[in-house]
Amino acid sequence: MSDHGMFGAEGTGDTSGYGGLVRTPAATGSSERPYGSYFDDVADDLERAYPAFSDAIERVVVDRGELTLHVKREKLIEVSKILR
């Protein structure tokens, strides 16, 4: 998967001069514990509140001071209810 041009325009709509630019998103792997900061506490609290945590979360990524939980599509509603 990649984006073409500076603004992702299709056809002749890109007048920026960057029409030949190709950006490929960086694939970020899963982070290992300890995550650092308060992220371990967040993950522990979610695991206590939702016992099927390990089955519902595909991967955890900590990057640039942000925690991202990749939730399986079929578990998204259940996890969202717990987080509310």
Per-residue pLDDT tens, the chain, 84 aa: give them: 556 555 555 666 566 666 666 777 676 788 999 999 999 999 999 999 999 999 999 999 998 899 999 999 999 999 999 988
pTM reported for the whole predicted model: 0.65
**ω before 25 within 30° of 0 (cis)?**
no
Q: How far apart are CA 70 and CA 68, in angstroms?
A: 6
* The predicted structure's pLDDT at residue 40: 96
Query: For the purposes of burial, counting CB atoms within 10 Å of the CB of 20, is it exposed (0-12), middle (13-18) or buried (19 or more)?
Result: exposed
* The predicted structure's pLDDT at residue 61: 93
Q: How far apart are CA 50 and CA 53, in angstroms?
A: 6
